[in-house]
Amino acid sequence: MAHDPALAQDLWRLMMQSAMSQVGRASSILQQLGLTPGHMKAILSLRPGEPRPIGTLAQGFGCDASTMTWLVDRLEERGLVERRPDKTDRRVKAVALTPQGVRMKKKLEARMFEVPESIAGLKPDVLEQVRDALALAMSRAAENSSMASAAH
């Protein structure tokens, strides 16, 4: 149950605001690297030396197989991934990062997960408090949403 509606409302507004600003930040990074959101999602979900079939990727994206075919075409044009035949089942095409794709993944992650000075500069005790409280809130939110999807 709620202890102080106004306080919780303030915090929630701030969390939404920070979410929005991080979306903006991400899209600016992508623009600088010449990538689309689709490129990013694919590059981040592929790991060097771990090719994944088109169907598996599509499932992870929550999109259609034909959409993934289209996206992989775009990534291949850019030289970031390549299709590899599967030894045991010749119907499946595994998507693998090229060396260039691996370099782009590193560059992207470095920019994406770089801690802004505004965060890094906070005092350790403040950092710790926010981290712990946010972690708590997130874990409770995860419980709720999993309950919601289970009920669905």
Partner DNA sequence: TATTGTTATACTCTATAACTATA
Partner DNA sequence: TATAGTTATAGAGTATAACAATA
Joined together, the tokens standing for residue 124 give 């350790």
Q: Residues 100-131, buried b or exposed e (16+ Cβ, 10 A)? A: ebbebbeebeeeeeeeeeeeeeeeeeeeeeee
27 counts as binding DNA under rule CB under 7 A: no
Interface mask toward its own copies for 20-49; x: CB under 8 A: xxxx-x------------------------
Kindly tell me which of 15 and 44 has the beta carbon lying closer to DNA: 44
**Nearest alpha carbon to residue 55 among 71, 68, 42:** 68
3 counts as binding its own copies under rule CB under 8 A: yes
> CB under 5 to 8 A by kind: which of DNA, its own copies, none does 130 bind?
its own copies
Number of H helices, E strands in the chain: 7, 3
Cα(38)–Cα(40) distance, integer angstroms:
5
67 counts as binding its own copies under rule CB under 8 A: no
Kindly tell me which of 73 and 143 has the beta carbon lying closer to its own copies: 143
Please name every residue paired with 4 in a beta bridge, in sequence order, or none if there are none: none
The span of 16-24, 67-75, 83-91, 93-101 binding its own copies (CB under 8 A) equals 16-24
Interface ranges with its own copies (CB under 8 A): 1-5, 7-23, 25, 113, 115-124, 126-131, 133-138, 140-141, 143-145
